């Protein structure tokens, strides 16, 4: 399936762009088509002077599902790094505010991608997990940087170390600082929020996002480098390769 079909970009309200990830074949894992589509969509946003805010969402019960099994096996065999296609930083580096409407499950790098947005809306019934350590390798995609920033150190550490699944409702009870609504209301809530932002002047939104994001953009590369170093050690373990082969998708 082409990148154009698996990632749809359209204006859904005046000055509000929706980017929908809809790779049904891969359940929104970071397939080549989804990766290319995301990179192309965010590049297109930069060329849209009428765009004031982006709503990033998925399809049905899937927001984003992280790396494919093939990608993880390649990493375990020392072929490439997650930095080869740095899609995790797309929301952070987008010039206008990005809202993650996480209407479906956010898994591994898919959950991390959503956390790089400026604003986040979660679904009560959905599963959110940073499941890297389930396979025995350390978190990547900037998880060790952005999750403590967005969730707080204690919860982020628990999520990454345990690799457990968390329902949105449970995260709400744990005090996360994001709206958590019924999953069939996530996109509506995000669009309502987007329309509120779109009432502001674009130049002010761009300037303020640049101001708020600057410390994150400056600090992220050092953490990414550390994550890549940890991957060089942890992915090389035979146990990790075995877990990827047997547990992926289970």
List active site positions: 231
End-to-end Cα, the chain, rounded Å: 24
SS3 category, 126 = coil
Burial class (CB in 10 A: 0-12, 13-18, 19+), 14: exposed
C-alpha dihedral, 196 to 199 to 203 to 209, nearest 10°:
-10
Distances (CA, A) of 125 to 128, 171, 185: 10, 11, 11
Torsion angle of the four alpha carbons 186, 29, 226, 119, in this order, in degrees rounded to the nearest 10:
-10
């Amino acid at each position: 399936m082409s990148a154009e079909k698996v990632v749809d970009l359209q204006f859904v309200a005046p000055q509000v762009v929706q980017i929908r990830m809809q790779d049904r074949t891969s359940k929104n894992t970071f397939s080549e088509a989804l990766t290319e589509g995301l990179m192309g969509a965010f590049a297109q946003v930069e060329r849209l002077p009428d765009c004031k805010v982006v709503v990033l969402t998925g399809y049905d019960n899937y927001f984003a599902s992280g790396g494919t099994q093939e990608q993880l096996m390649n990493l375990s065999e020392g072929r490439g790094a997650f930095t080869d296609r740095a899609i995790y930083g797309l929301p952070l580096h987008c010039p206008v505010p990005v809202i993650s409407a996480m209407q479906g499950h956010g898994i591994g790098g898919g959950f991390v991608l959503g956390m790089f947005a400026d604003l986040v809306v979660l679904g009560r019934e959905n599963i959110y997990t940073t499941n890297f350590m389930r396979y025995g390798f350390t978190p990547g995609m900037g998880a060790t940087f952005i999750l403590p920033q967005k969730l707080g150190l204690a919860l982020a550490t628990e999520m990454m170390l345990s690799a457990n699944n968390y329902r949105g409702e449970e995260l709400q009870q744990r005090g996360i600082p994001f709206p958590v609504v019924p999953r069939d209301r996530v996109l509506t809530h995000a669009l309502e929020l987007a329309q509120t932002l779109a009432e502001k002047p674009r130049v002010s939104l761009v300037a303020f996002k640049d101001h708020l994001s600057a410390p994150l953009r400056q600090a992220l590369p050092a953490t990414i480098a550390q994550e890549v170093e940890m991957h060089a050690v942890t992915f090389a373990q035979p146990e990790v390769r075995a877990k990827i082969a047997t547990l992926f998708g289970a």
